[in-house]
Structure 1
Amino acid sequence: MSEMTESDTPYTALGFYHKISQLRADTWNALKRDLGKLVRLRDEAQARNLVKAVDVKLTRLEIIEDYHAFPSKEDFRHLWSLFDREEYALLEKVVKRLVRALISESYRRRHVDLSETDADAEDLEALDALAQLRRGHPASNSSSQPYFELLIVDAMSTQEEEVVREAFHNLRRPEDRFVYDVVTVRSFEDALIAILVNPNIQACLIRYEFPYKSKYNLSALRNYLEGLSEIELESKSEAERSILLSSMIREIRPEIDQFLVTSGDVEATASQDIRHFNRIFYRETDYIEQHHTILRAIDDRYRTPFFDALREYSKKPTGVFHAMPISRGKSVTRSHWAGHMIDFYGINIFLAETSATSGGLDSLLQPYGPIKKAQEYAARAFGSRQSFFVTNGTSTANKIVVQALVKPRDIVLIDRDCHKSHHYGMVLAGAHVAYLDSYPLNDYSMYGAVPLKEIKKTLLALKRSGQLHKVKMLLLTNCTFDGVVYNVRRVMEECLAIKPDLVFLWDEAWFAFATFNPTYRPRTAMHAARTLLDRYRSDAYREEYAAWKAEFDQCDPDDDATWLEQRLLPDPDLVRVRAYATHSTHKTLTSLRQGSMIHVHDQDFRHKVEGPFHEAYMTHTSTSPNYQIVASLDVGRMQAEMEGFELVHAQVEAALSLREQLYTNPLLLKYFEVLKNSDMIPLEYRQSGVDTFYDPSTGWNKMEEAWAHDEFVVDPSRITMAIGKTGIDGDAFKNEYLMNKFGIQINKTSRNTVLFMTNIGTTRGSIAYLLDVLIKLAKSFDRRWEDSSRPERKIIEHQIKSLTQDLPPLPDFSRFHDAFRPLTESPEGDIRRAYFLSYDEENTEYLRFDNGALQAEMQAGRDVVSASFVIPYPPGFPVLVPGQVISAEILRFLQALDVKEIHGYRPELGLIVFTEEALEATEQGAD
């Protein structure tokens, strides 16, 4: 068997593992095709070439399958035996059966013996594959035993490996809730490769001694093994090496249950830092105990406390004497007219419907039973200290967190182009708002994210004006709708160096899935908070901080460069880690619409926030929450823990495949341009220098390099495509072309871009369909040009110029009017006061800018101040907020917009603004 080297392009692409499942499936199918040709060929020269191709594919597949339970190592020895004996016809038959078993996933339900080639066995696999095609999903159902694989790390011989595998196989019983198979690896590196490339691995048994080095040379591990050396590792004791491997497995795939089997002093080992192991076994412990312990651990993650309770409730005969006629389906089953509702939804959804106040199930507002347990499981899954379910979307989740933490006149730093729920949350809380500007992407009519320097500069301004003690929260969107992701840990760390008790609210509405991918996870709020807290508690950090502080104290504290041009470190004796994240679970994971979560990692939650949080939760949560949404959140959490790694991995694979085609197809490039890292993130924020994840001439670059070091990165699962060269604006392209003609739905557009988002439900077939549609559209644009007259071509050229060159620059936030500024020397404004001042009609007037009336007032020296939010769609962020002075740049932007929908603007009347008398009275302190 050949060793893998850096020259093996398909394997080194993106560190090998990013497209491993597609590579695996495609290689098996290619092998099947080659063997089919080989057994039918009569030309000796061509046959020799095909034999070489089969040899290469078998070699590569053996490397991949080394980390999977099916096909097993014994199965591969059988394949090689047939190949070496040149029994190609029989080899083709075995490979066909193997491929069918992989496609249908029949190996999950029963043992597939590749040495059997009888017709009945083949027919069974064929029926499994056909069933999958008919259903459109893998051939499994809820009544079958879920399948997983157990990873054993041990430098055992091949013979010992077979004995251990057989021992675990013999422990299977029909009544077991799960069925599993065994994968054995023999080194530290191989263990990490296995958990990266094999999503079926759900449990790991680390046994005895094992070497560091893998027999393969894989680039996938570079980022994970940084700072480790083979010599250092080999010098560690058995226990130390096992503990280090355990911590790394935990970092990459925290959901995996880990167990340690030691031959040494088990009591001494147990006294070490073994927090990532579920349990330690002494080598003499029998396999039965290990088997049952592993199954119990899997079952703990597989449980869905509230969903299970809801299912049990639906089976109970119940007399309904409360205010929900639809409960138990009574009002529908008895109806002569509404029965088609049951035909559509099925009876279970009605059997599970009940009043939240009727008893029999837990209360979302004050959980004590299965909902409480389900939320605790969610906290485990997402790495938070507390998690809370929200049934009216992340707009409500955002308002809950803001109300719980922010009092009137507290200062909140917030990115201006965030979701509108945050702006309204500021109004409700009475916060004094300091808006932060994201860097603009003028060529595409959208914003990026807020640079760290901008945040630090604002905090320093507030500090110098004596307002830092009033600053309560920093609120940022991570990741943005367009996929720009912050370096969360860096932002938190440097801001805490200026304001040690600053609270962070990270709106991760579009980022819930990120927890379940090792590249994405470090840029999530909960992971960053947990990492920082561990860091600040360590002696090593105290030494690092002392050295940094000694050097920092030599600098001029009044010089902005002292704070802005270097990395800041917080004082470990003062710092408090206080982070909140809101997730639209329904947007990126499995949940019914409006299913969201709030995750908390706040050191001060128990004694400072718990009471106000409960009140805010009660304020915004319905007393009649939808139990189906709560149950879907419970199931969505379970799915994410059990197969989130696999699903997110497939999502990224699909996106990378789509990007590759869009970057290289000449016809598509004629009209469409997928924005690269360099298009969406200026070079100053890309410390890695990575311009794109894929280049047609150099292939795939290291995605992890950018994600490890850059201030901002682009989520590759979001494909922003510039369409200006079509001459069609984003809104028309979305509705008239994608949706109306081809049934393709997308969420977001700008004037000249559309956003395609892959998710955990995206299939390779979906990607193929989208590419087919885009090619058809490109051909239609070719025909449009060919069929156009000269005047018609002039119109098309004008439209293209409008969308590619004549783009209005995005305006920065101007300022709050002095009437709404507590202090003129600091930037924050009282948005609540401005918002409610507009409720009295005599305080406002309308001014039109299409006839020059507004411009004339500005030229006369008047501060024209918006009395409402003004939000154009697209791009969907507030261009103006209540109390904001209208600038010439904002006016030019509004004049240049050609969108149909601008909230807060009535074309027949104009913009609603405050009268000069109202502003004067407010400035003087009158109500």
Structure 2
Amino acid sequence: MGLELKMPELGNLNDSAQKLECHIALVSADSKLAGDWITALNSTATRHENPFGLHFEAIAPADVERLARDEDRLQAVIVDGGNDAKGLRAADQLADRIHALRSQLNIFLVAHSDIAGATSPAGEAGAESLANLRRRFDELFDRREGNFNHMFRLVQAFIARRASTPFADTLKEYVFSARDAWHTPGHSGGDSLRNSPWVGDFYRFMGEHVFNTDLSVSVQILDSLLEPHSVIQEAQDLAAQAFGSRHTFFLTNGTSTANKVVIQQILGGGGKIIVDQACHKSVHHAIVMNRCEPVYLKSVLHPEFGIYGPVKRSDIEAALDEHSDARLLVITSCTYDGLRYDLKPIIDYAHERGVKVLVDEAWFAHGFFHPELRPTALECGADYVTQSTHKMLSAFSQASMIHVQDPDFDEFRFRENLNMHASTSPQYAMIASLDVARKQMAMEGYGRLKQCLQMVETLRRAVNETGVFRALTRDDLIAEPLAGDNIGLDPTKVTIDISRSGYSGNEMQIKLFDQYGIQVEKTTYNTITVLVTLGSTESKLLRLIHALKQLAGTTHKRIHVGTPRRLPEFTRFTCLPADAYFADTEELPLMDNGVDATQNLIGRTSADEIVPYPPGIPVLVPGQEISEQIVQYLQQLLQGQNTTEIHGLIFRSDEPMLRVVKEVPEKSENKDKKSGGKKAK
């Protein structure tokens, strides 16, 4: 019953013929007021421009939570607070429950202005009471309201604000204005490629808008990502509101850069950082770049599936107690496999000791938009949260966000730190995709995620029905040492145990790709993991289920039974990671003559980060002492049946080498001691 959205001033980017329909619920125990208002508001909606298809309906207070769960088209709720303070308290509590279910809904309050101004739900008086109500609700309406035109327009304006995409709209308008480009980039809107006999095919393959949206910072109407004041700043403000943060910053070079910016903000120039050994490599890089002193926490291995999960809470708390001079704690939640910390007690424990908390939520940008996935890191009090908006939402690759709610936040210094890492020539299509991805979650995130969770249930049930494959549950994935830590699971990461099929994870990945055209997200030696995202469709789900059923009927006896390799124990630091990375170094062979290579490497200090994939956790970081166990572990990986990527190794004529800190000759050391300990320059 809605009209086509044809109002660019309301943030229109939808050029399709699809009609929008937004339901607005009026919650009241006063049936006469509800009936009169609904009749008046729906009559108003038919007489005015109604691009979002606003439709008003009355609902009893007891039914509003059911409506919020079941009605995806619900976009706003008008709550009647009645005629007294008791009614205001009930309205306030109802608003809390609605926000817990649907964080994005606009909520309005209906009350007598004299009651709202005189007594708040908490008992405060006057202007302070009214201010508290305004923080809780988007807007207030007097119960004696007679101007339904104004009320309709106000509700529509709040929805329009949430549905706007200020940057993406401005980019689109600029492109369609067809300006002549006498500025970078050199392809000039694709004109350098369009008619070329050599590269014109690339232009046609990519499409014109890939090129004509690739613009220059010279186009001032598009604002500046490095110093935003207009449409980019507005888009970031909308993102902060949507994701529940005080400040939000867009990045076009990924969460790797986001992590580096935050660590530089807190620890630029050095300091102690407590961090999961299994954190993303960008955190390890930031430790080197900022001369940090790391305290590494050991991830817990699930012995049956070779999956590294979170760190035990007791280990985190012990590290916080032992290292009172630490300034930052870095946690990854959820992990690549979907395991989520119970964050609030950990964050509270850190804050009580004066330690800031960064939560890497690269894999959990969708969490705030469905109650089954909450609470998020921001809701649990994290100071900084980094998210890969592209991983699970609809943004382009490399498009990420940093969310900030640090009470001591220095925005000027933060922007300078961000600018040190950001490109001065950002990709405008990425910025637009962040704007649009935020809009999608703000307007339909709940409904889309509800569909995802329904797909997850269908997939899990079908996998288990094969009798060969098994969709692992939260309890399956949590190793015994984490049993008491209240670890959660993001169900959109579906890990499937393939042990009974006889295939390894790598073999199953290849079969799915070669025979069925299906690419999975990751594997271990006996599992595969698929992601159910906003882009998952019923047809894709049907094809995946069909492929798994087919493969379940073609099992074979595995010749080599795989087992997870435990990472060797983390050894001590002989110096700061930065000192090792930038030191004078030499390269020593890892495999040559086996025993000799081991003996030559034991006790030396690694100058690089050595990371086997899987599991993607460093075996060595710069400054770490090399042990016999570490050398033998790396040798076994290189000699194994299955190819393992090992990042950080140097190959000279196909010979793997480790870069180690060069030792000071003994004579030089003695000479230094005799001369008062001065080191040669």
Q: Distance in 1 between matches of 2:418 and 2:81?
A: 50
Aligned match for 2:459, one of 650, 658, 671: 658
Q: Distance in 1 between matches of 2:385 and 2:33?
A: 48
**Contact 1:108–1:147 (CA<8 Å) still a contact in 2?**
yes
Q: Distance in 1 between matches of 2:592 and 2:609?
A: 16
Alignment of 1:483 onto 2:338: yes
TM-score scaled by length of structure 1: 0.65
Residue 50 (structure 2) aligns with: 176
Cα 1:835–1:255, aligned 2, differ >3 Å: closer, same or farther?
same
Aligned match for 2:372, one of 510, 515, 519: 519
Residue 587 (structure 1) aligns with: 391
Which amino acid in structure 2 is aligned with residue 415 of structure 1?
A: D
Residue 155 (structure 1) aligns with: 29
Residue 116 (structure 1) aligns with: none
Matches within 5 A, 1:342-357: 342-357=203-218
Residue 327 (structure 2) aligns with: 472
- The alpha carbon displacement at 1:298 in A equals 0.3
SS in 1 for 2:167: helix
Deviations 1:185-233 (A, max 9, x none): 212x4212211221211110112559xxxxxxxxxxxxxxxxxxxxxxx
Alignment of 1:237 onto 2:12: no
Which amino acid in structure 1 is aligned with residue 115 of structure 2?
A: D
Q: Distance in 1 between matches of 2:142 and 2:427?
A: 48
- The alpha carbon displacement at 1:360 in A equals 3.1
Alignment of 1:282 onto 2:80: no
Q: Distance in 2 between matches of 1:407 and 1:449?
A: 27
SS in 2 for 1:599: strand
Percent of counterpart pairs with the same letter? Answer: 32
Deviations 1:111-148 (A, max 9, x none): xxxxxxxxxxxxxxxxxxxxxxxxxxxxx954555321
Alignment of 1:905 onto 2:649: yes
Matches within 5 A, 1:84-99: none
Residue 488 (structure 2) aligns with: 713
Alignment of 1:845 onto 2:585: no
Q: Distance in 2 between matches of 1:289 and 1:755?
A: 51
SS in 2 for 1:527: coil
- The alpha carbon displacement at 1:267 in A equals 3.6
Aligned length: 645
Cα 1:413–1:377, aligned 2, differ >3 Å: closer, same or farther?
same
Cα 1:894–1:108, aligned 2, differ >3 Å: closer, same or farther?
farther
Which amino acid in structure 1 is aligned with residue 142 of structure 2?
A: Y
Residue 20 (structure 2) aligns with: 146
Alignment of 1:761 onto 2:535: yes
- The alpha carbon displacement at 1:831 in A equals 0.7
Cα 1:518–1:246, aligned 2, differ >3 Å: closer, same or farther?
same
Cα 1:641–1:406, aligned 2, differ >3 Å: closer, same or farther?
same
Matches within 5 A, 1:64-79: none
Aligned match for 2:471, one of 661, 669, 674: 674
Residue 268 (structure 1) aligns with: 118
Q: Distance in 1 between matches of 2:415 and 2:209?
A: 32
Q: Distance in 2 between matches of 1:760 and 1:266?
A: 41
Cα 1:808–1:330, aligned 2, differ >3 Å: closer, same or farther?
closer
- The alpha carbon displacement at 1:285 in A equals 1.2
- 756-765 or 909-918, which deviates more: 909-918
Residue 125 (structure 2) aligns with: none
**Contact 1:847–1:853 (CA<8 Å) still a contact in 2?**
no
Cα 1:925–1:315, aligned 2, differ >3 Å: closer, same or farther?
farther
Q: Distance in 1 between matches of 2:502 and 2:628?
A: 28
Alignment of 1:197 onto 2:70: yes
**Contact 2:274–2:330 (CA<8 Å) still a contact in 1?**
yes
Q: Distance in 1 between matches of 2:336 and 2:549?
A: 26
Residue 364 (structure 1) aligns with: 225
Q: Distance in 2 between matches of 1:443 and 1:183?
A: 53
TM-score scaled by length of structure 2: 0.88
Aligned match for 1:303, one of 164, 171, 188: 164
Residue 528 (structure 1) aligns with: 380
Cα 1:770–1:334, aligned 2, differ >3 Å: closer, same or farther?
closer
Cα 1:855–1:320, aligned 2, differ >3 Å: closer, same or farther?
closer
Matches within 5 A, 1:372-451: 372-451=233-312
**Contact 2:350–2:357 (CA<8 Å) still a contact in 1?**
no
Q: Distance in 2 between matches of 1:356 and 1:285?
A: 48
Cα 1:774–1:267, aligned 2, differ >3 Å: closer, same or farther?
same
Q: Distance in 1 between matches of 2:665 and 2:101?
A: 56
Alignment of 1:602 onto 2:406: yes
Q: Please, what is the CA RMSD of the aligned residues?
A: 2.8
Q: Distance in 2 between matches of 1:362 and 1:176?
A: 31
- The alpha carbon displacement at 1:728 in A equals 2.7
Which amino acid in structure 1 is aligned with residue 473 of structure 2?
A: K
Matches within 5 A, 1:23-102: none
Aligned match for 1:644, one of 435, 442, 445: 445
**Contact 1:415–1:438 (CA<8 Å) still a contact in 2?**
yes
Q: Distance in 1 between matches of 2:383 and 2:322?
A: 23
**Contact 2:474–2:488 (CA<8 Å) still a contact in 1?**
yes
**Contact 1:445–1:810 (CA<8 Å) still a contact in 2?**
no
- The alpha carbon displacement at 1:301 in A equals 0.4
Q: Distance in 1 between matches of 2:678 and 2:330?
A: 29
- The alpha carbon displacement at 1:174 in A equals 6.2
Matches within 5 A, 1:859-878: 862-878=602-618
Q: Which has the higher helix share?
A: 1
Q: Distance in 2 between matches of 1:659 and 1:254?
A: 28
Structure 1: gaps spanning 5 or more residues: 1-106, 111-139, 211-234, 463-467, 530-577, 688-709, 786-795, 821-829
Residue 457 (structure 1) aligns with: 318
**Contact 1:250–1:276 (CA<8 Å) still a contact in 2?**
no
**Contact 2:24–2:78 (CA<8 Å) still a contact in 1?**
yes
Deviations 1:600-627 (A, max 9, x none): 1111113xxx333222211111111000
- The alpha carbon displacement at 1:109 in A equals 5.7
Q: Distance in 2 between matches of 1:653 and 1:369?
A: 40
Which amino acid in structure 2 is aligned with residue 241 of structure 1?
A: A
**Contact 1:656–1:717 (CA<8 Å) still a contact in 2?**
no
- The alpha carbon displacement at 1:632 in A equals 0.8
Which amino acid in structure 2 is aligned with residue 285 of structure 1?
A: E
Q: Distance in 1 between matches of 2:449 and 2:665?
A: 52
Which amino acid in structure 2 is aligned with residue 434 of structure 1?
A: V
- 303-312 or 899-908, which deviates more: 899-908
Residue 421 (structure 2) aligns with: 620
SS in 2 for 1:853: helix
Deviations 1:465-522 (A, max 9, x none): xxx33x121111111001110111111111223x22x121111111100011123231
- The alpha carbon displacement at 1:449 in A equals 0.6
Q: Distance in 1 between matches of 2:321 and 2:418?
A: 33
